[in-house]
Amino acid sequence: MKVSLEHFFANRFTDADNEIPEVVQYFKPLKVAKDELLLESGMVCHSLYFIVSGSLKTSFIDAKGQETIRHVAFENQFLSSLHSFIKQTASTEFIYAIEASELQFISYNDFQKLISETTLFRDFYIKMLETTYLNNHWRIETFLRLSAKERYEYLLTHKKEMVQRLSNKNLASYLGITQESLSRIKAKK
């Protein structure tokens, strides 16, 4: 599947669609291989990525040295190490391509410029923060009161793409459980 940045804005921000060319010109294309590192923990994240095709993840290394996946994004979604990007401070997480991916990215400076100069991008930024909020919200709810098995079933029902496109290893990490537990959960169904 392949999507475009123009369509993304045209479909969602009809009020200020005359500003689309102005906004889109600041994005640069980038192709990355499967498993390619886009941001190292400890570095400042300078880019916000739009996914044309493929998938990205943000992750950190836990106390036991295991990679733990905090967020995953597919086509038509944006991803960054948001805290680092917004504040231009060192990131506590990595960004990796999960699959080979085509991206469009914008630098922090151009991002700021567009925020101050265009209504479209300001609306987009608020919308992005809201979407991020909703995403984190359901994720916290699933952790608060669902067992590992129920969290897996929640993804199967509500986020099927994640189950289909992530390896067991990545999926287990995203669910906050071990690979072995996930394997058992899947076997029991």
Partner DNA sequence: CTAAAACATTGACAAATGATAAAAAATCAC
Partner DNA sequence: GTGATTTTTTATCATTTGTCAATGTTTTAG
Query: Taking CB under 8 A as the rule, which mask of x and - marks residues 158-187 in contact with a copy of itself?
Result: ------------------x-----------
What are the E-state strand segments in the chain? 28-32, 37-39, 47-53, 56-61, 67-73, 78-79, 94-97, 101-107
Binding-site member from 53, 68, 118, 179 for a copy of itself (CB under 8 A): 68
Among DNA, a copy of itself, none, residue 99 binds (CB under 5-8 Å by kind): none
Least separation in angstroms between residue 168's CB and DNA is 3
**Which listed range, 72-80, 86-94, 125-133, 144-152, lies at the site for DNA (CB under 7 A)?**
144-152
Is the separation of the CB atoms in 39 and 89 below 8 Å?
no
- What is the amino acid identity at position 142? T
Of residues 33 through 92, those in contact with DNA by CB under 7 A are 34, 64
N- to C-terminal Cα distance for the chain? 30
Handedness of CA 73, 78, 80, 82 (dihedral sign): negative
Least separation in angstroms between residue 29's CB and a copy of itself is 27
- CB under 8 Å to 3, separation ≥6 — which residues? 51, 52, 53, 75, 76
* C-beta closer to DNA: residue 64 or 133: 64
**Which listed range, 7-15, 43-51, 64-72, 152-160, lies at the site for a copy of itself (CB under 8 A)?**
64-72
**Which listed range, 4-12, 36-44, 65-73, 158-166, lies at the site for a copy of itself (CB under 8 A)?**
65-73
Strands across the sheet containing 67-73: 37-39, 94-97, 56-61, 67-73
Judged by the rule CB under 8 A, the positions of this chain that interact with a copy of itself are 60, 62-64, 66, 68, 70, 82-83, 86, 125-126, 129-130, 132-134, 136-137, 139-141, 143-145, 176
